Amino acid sequence: PKPIIKISSQIGCPAHCKFCDLGDAPFRRNLLPHELLQQFQYMYELSSELGIRIGNKQHKVNVAGSGEPLLNKHLVDGLKLIAEYEPSFKVCTVAPKSKATIENFKRLAEFGGSYAHPIQIQISLISTSQLHREQSVGMPLLVLDQISALGKLWRAANPVRSQINLSLILAADTPVDVAEIVKLLPPEHYRFRFRPYIPTNHGRQNALRQISNDQMEEVKAAFRAEGYYVGEEATPTATEQTFELASNVSRKRVDQGQ
């Protein structure tokens, strides 16, 4: 497997997702291109110092730390700096509803079309219900037909590696109905990753409850029945569940001195 280095796109996050442990963190600013590069370089060099030989392996840079990548106008310039190391990329977004999102996505698609290594787009759809999506995030989000338009734009620029990942973070009461999305986001162009909500302090404050394994399997089966690839890569390990290691939890605990 590729070594994966996760970086942040912003200090704080304007999305304020209810399930994220950084959902109550104030937004500070965009990270600059050289700051995006420095995060990668630091982890790359630290690994070598720890005796982890990764220099001869291709890396994947996952833009999934603090922040909403498509609201950082410096995103693509930062990725171009990191591209000197020839990693693959994964960019995770909740798809905010704004002109900045569309313009940044266009730049990202153009970069992806000319870059020699894969660039993976993952849209955190959260739910198939637009109302629930926007209630889960502290900003307006693109509706499904607008996300479909982004997909067409991506496929035009990246005809070989054209599939987009859609992720659903499912709590007990998350509305999910595959019939609501299958026409706009068909399985030949989109694949799904499901992850159960892992309890966070911020999630508890918003009364989120964990989904049962049986509920989770029912949802996956419904999507598979419509022809979707359902990735198991996001399934939490026993360690993640025991210690409640949702994304960004470790960062929050460090900030709090835990």
CATH code of residue 158: 3.20.20.70
Name the band, by pLDDT with cuts 50, 70 and 90, for residue 247: low
Residue 210: the pLDDT is 85
pLDDT at 190 over 50: yes
Range 231-247 average pLDDT: 61
Number of domains in the chain: 1
By CB atoms closer than 10 A (0-12, 13-18, 19+), residue 139 is middle
Closest CA to 95 of 40, 154, 38: 154
pLDDT tens readout for residues 99-138: 999 999 999 999 999 999 999 999 999 999 999 999 989 8
In terms of pLDDT, which residue wins out, 187 or 3?
Answer: 187
**pTM as predicted:** 0.87
- Name which residue leads in pLDDT, 41 or 202: 41
Supply the range of the domain harboring residue 58: 4-255
The β-bridge relationship of strands 164-170 and 10-11 is: unpaired
